[in-house]
Amino acid sequence: MTFQIIDGKETAARLREQIKETVSQLDPKPGLAVIIVGDHPASKTYVTGKENAAKDIGMHFEKIELPDTIQETELLKKIDELNSNEAIHGFIVQLPLPKHIDEKLVIESILPMKDADGFSPINLGNLMLNNNSIVSATPKGIIKLLEEYNIELEGRHAVIVGRSNIVGKPIALLLQQKHCTVTMCHSKTKDLKNITKDADILVAAVGKPNLITKDMVKKGAVVIDVGTSRLEDGTLTGDVDFENVKKVASHITPVPGGVGPMTITMLLENCLECYNLQR
Ligand code: GUN
């Protein structure tokens, strides 16, 4: 069995060069906007990463910073402005939002063809129906990584741990489209190990450091770690006990440097898709 660490950083950089080349030939330039509410430290870091990436590939970028005291109606007004702003082809509202704002209502207010995150009910519904849709960046990035590393999917058992709307549910649909047999697990799943142990492809998207240990992984499994937790000393860690699980896996994504870099790249690709939809 050959063992490979899946290098998301290298793959993302390569794909970003291709997007940059495409953008260089476009006039007007595709425009991406990000709305950020409040000063959640992790959100600020993520948004800076998105801003740098968009500018680096030559996209037009706008950041709209709003105070966490903003009223929901004011935020919805900003979304409406972006919905009709011709220089902006795709935009996102960085999550989480302050508690007094209805996240669901906010997401539903984004025009589906400008929904660069692919979080709107229309895009998620189209994904379920196998129609063309804007697919949320993290699951899209996982599929790209599996393709780039020529990982066989058809007929294989994919086990997803985590059932979020952003990762767990869409990656389950995408893997099913690729003809995997998919099992979804979550916090109420009984005997998790018994299920993960049968996975050919194991996707962990929970946000609990070291949830997936070596004894839970089949020899030769492909392990995709979507977790991003900050330990007390500030280091970023995934859901998988990387050092031990890599002894049994055939492929594994590290944290950092695995799925994370792909997420921003897929956001840029989604913005380009939004641009094409509008032109
Ligand atoms: N917060 C954490 N990840 C994401 C993401 O991919 N999109 C948005 N909008 N907010 C997030």
Burial of 236-259, coded b for 16+ CB within 10 Å and e otherwise, reads ebbbbbbeebbebbbbbbbbebbb
Which residue's CA is the closest to the ligand 1 atom numbered 9? 94
Residue 84 Cα to ligand 1 middle (Å): 22
Q: Which of 92, 93, 119 to mutate to test the pocket of ligand 1 (most atoms within 8 A of CB)?
A: 92
- What's the pLDDT at 93? 98
Residue 117 Cα to ligand 1 middle (Å): 8
- What's the pLDDT at 2? 84
Active site residues: 50, 94, 117
DSSP strand pairing (229-230 vs 236-237): antiparallel
- What's the pLDDT at 1? 63
- What's the pLDDT at 109? 98
Domains 27-111 and 136-259 share a fold: yes
Q: Is 120 in the pocket of ligand 1 (CB under 6 A)?
A: no
- List CB contacts of 170: < 8 A, sequence separation 6 or more: 118, 124, 127, 135, 136, 139
206, 229 in Cβ contact below 8 A? no
State the Cα–Cα distance between residues 136 and 127, nearest whole angstrom: 10
State the Cα–Cα distance between residues 192 and 197, nearest whole angstrom: 8
- 3-state SS of 36-53 is EECCCHHHHHHHHHHHHH
DSSP strand pairing (222-225 vs 201-204): parallel
Domain ranges in the chain are 27-111, 136-259
Q: What is the dihedral of CA 270, 120, 111, 52, to 10 degrees?
A: -40
CATH class of 136-259: alpha beta
Q: Which of 36, 46, 108 to mutate to test the pocket of ligand 1 (most atoms within 8 A of CB)?
A: 46
For the CA of 92, the nearest atom of ligand 1 = 9
Which residue's CA is the closest to the ligand 1 atom numbered 7? 94
Identify which of 267, 227, 231, 237 has the alpha carbon closest to the alpha carbon of residue 91: 267
Helix/strand/coil for 91: strand
Phi, psi (deg, nearest 5) at residue 213:
-105, 170
179: left (phi over 0), alpha (psi -120 to 50) or beta: left
For the CA of 263, the nearest atom of ligand 1 = 6
Residue 213 Cα to ligand 1 middle (Å): 27
Identify which of 207, 124, 203 has the alpha carbon closest to the alpha carbon of residue 157: 203
Q: Is the dihedral of CA 127, 163, 12, 275 positive or negative?
A: positive
The whole model's pTM is what? 0.96
For the CA of 136, the nearest atom of ligand 1 = 6
Q: Is 95 in the pocket of ligand 1 (CB under 6 A)?
A: yes
User: Under CATH, which architecture does the 27-111 domain have?
Assistant: 3-Layer(aba) Sandwich (3.40)
For the CA of 95, the nearest atom of ligand 1 = 10
Q: Where are the alpha helices (DSSP H) in the chain?
A: 8-24, 41-56, 72-83, 103-109, 121-128, 137-148, 168-177, 192-196, 242-245, 259-278
Give the residue ranges of the chain where pLDDT is below 50.
none
Phi, psi (deg, nearest 5) at residue 66:
-125, 145
Identify which of 273, 270, 9, 227 has the alpha carbon closest to the alpha carbon of residue 117: 270
